[in-house]
Amino acid sequence: MASSTGLSATVGDPSPPATTKLRSLLAACLAHALHDGYTDGLYAFLPVWQAQFGLSYAALALIRALYSGTMGGLQLPADRLLRGVSARSALILSTLIASTGLLVVALPFGFAGLCVGLIVAGAGSSIQHPRGSMLVADSYGRASRRPLGIYNFSGDLGKALLPALVAVLLPVLAWRAVLGLMVVLGVVVAIALTSLARGATALGKAAPVGHSGRRGRGGFGILTAIGGLDTATRMGYLLFLPFLIHGQGGGSPTVGLALGLLFIGGAFGKATCGWLGERLGVVGTVIVTEAATAVLIMATLFTPLTQTLILLPLLGVVLNGTSSVLYGTVPELSGADTGRAFAVFYTSVIGSGGVAPILYGAIADHSSQTVGVLASAATAALIVPLVLALRPHLCGTAA
């Protein structure tokens, strides 16, 4: 029987058929694209919710954190609760719960419905990340690094497509109707998963494993902290981007275009940072991308709308691309239980993405939007010295 971590499977363990591997990868990628599209598609609704409910920047960040904070905080409990549940069932359950949460938001329940719905949707999405990544790891075993990269990349496709589609629809349809269409999309994906993941019913069940020859948790702790700061930078900037575009004279369609350009750049960043990682190593790549992130974030504060739109794809490359390097390093520093390590890593990065924008929003409320954006740039710069401490733990792992 294959190890639950996949990456630590013994040589003699049977491997799933190639068709099962492909179906498992497609199922995980489809779920990842939908849930990440849900996550970042909500940014397009922020200006609408601000106008309808009279919210400040900090309140908007708090509303946003109801989803992302719940999603991050329930990673470990969801992983523990669903250890005996197949990946197929877990991914379908995750998608249906998240869609139900968005349905509650779309119904006319007022501000309370908005808050409750975002919490339910976040709870559903908390299941997807650890179970989807473990489905890929279990399916491909020691050869899972590249499939995990594809899985990670699929999330960026969802981030690029769904937010842009939402922003294009908002000027045409009522925002509740747009959310309703997102719910329908979730139901369609859940139906597709019942077919795609059929051969993966026995895969993706996390369970404790024996000791392995992996490195200690010291390096993993540093990696997790870096992942949290990297996500804080990204979510902080995304909080202000719609308002930055509005301030430069752009309307809702332009906000959608800006988000799409940023996330398309992020999707290309996965491949770009992988290429950089092979030549510069993990430490060198993170230093380059985080320094470039800080510089480009500051640049968008001083450029007119057209130049900002030109810069956004390049910013997306470094803003999103770093995560693929960090994510791919998790199995190498995870210790014995890679499944739990994924859950811990996701807890850090998603939880950070929920909490940090509240701090950035409070900074903006007590100073200005510009200072809030500069705070996100400073967070990226803070990673540069921190990643140097990771180098001793990466000896022999392409440091």
Q: 64 and 42 in contact (C-beta within 8 Å)?
A: yes
For the chain, what percent of residues have pLDDT higher than 70? Answer: 84
> Residues 344-370: what's their mean pLDDT?
84
Q: 32 and 247 in contact (C-beta within 8 Å)?
A: no
> Residues 129-139: what's their mean pLDDT?
81
CA distance 209 to 118: 35
Residue 193 included in any domain: yes
Per-residue confidence (pLDDT) for residue 11, from 0 to 100 = 37
Residue 156 included in any domain: yes
pLDDT in tens, 35-46: 999 988 888 898
Residue 4 included in any domain: no
By three-state DSSP, how is residue 208 classified?
Answer: coil
Per-residue confidence (pLDDT) for residue 12, from 0 to 100 = 40
Position with higher pLDDT, 395 vs 343? 343
> Residues 360-384: what's their mean pLDDT?
91
As given in the structure block, the two tokens for residue 187 are: 């139901």
As given in the structure block, the two tokens for residue 106 are: 């779309």
Q: What is the pTM of this model?
A: 0.71
> Residues 240-250: what's their mean pLDDT?
90
Residue 380 included in any domain: yes
Number of compact structural domains in the chain: 1
Average pLDDT, the chain: 82
pLDDT in tens, 310-334: 999 999 999 988 887 887 777 677 7
Q: 46 and 33 in contact (C-beta within 8 Å)?
A: no
CA distance 182 to 103: 9
Per-residue confidence (pLDDT) for residue 6, from 0 to 100 = 41
As given in the structure block, the two tokens for residue 8 are: 């630590």
Check pLDDT > 90 for residue 230.
Answer: yes
> Residues 228-248: what's their mean pLDDT?
90
Per-residue confidence (pLDDT) for residue 9, from 0 to 100 = 40
As given in the structure block, the two tokens for residue 241 are: 């981007």
Q: Which of 10-14, 141-145, 273-277 has the highest mean pLDDT?
A: 273-277
Q: 79 and 206 in contact (C-beta within 8 Å)?
A: yes
Provide the domain limits for residue 98: 18-394
Q: 179 and 106 in contact (C-beta within 8 Å)?
A: yes
Q: 226 and 279 in contact (C-beta within 8 Å)?
A: no
pLDDT in tens, 293-304: 999 999 999 999
R_g of the chain computed on alpha carbons: 20
Residue 5 included in any domain: no
Q: 331 and 7 in contact (C-beta within 8 Å)?
A: yes
Check pLDDT > 60 for residue 341.
Answer: yes
Check pLDDT > 50 for residue 28.
Answer: yes
CA distance 223 to 234: 17
Which residues have C-beta within 8 Å of that of residue 378, sequence separation ≥ 6? 294
**Helix 145-169 / helix 18-41 crossing angle, nearest 10 deg:** 40
Position with higher pLDDT, 69 vs 30? 30
Residue 53 included in any domain: yes
CATH number at residue 306: 1.20.1250.20
Residue 99 included in any domain: yes
As given in the structure block, the two tokens for residue 293 are: 């992130």
For the chain, what percent of residues have pLDDT higher than 90? Answer: 31
Q: 80 and 150 in contact (C-beta within 8 Å)?
A: no
Residue 209 included in any domain: yes
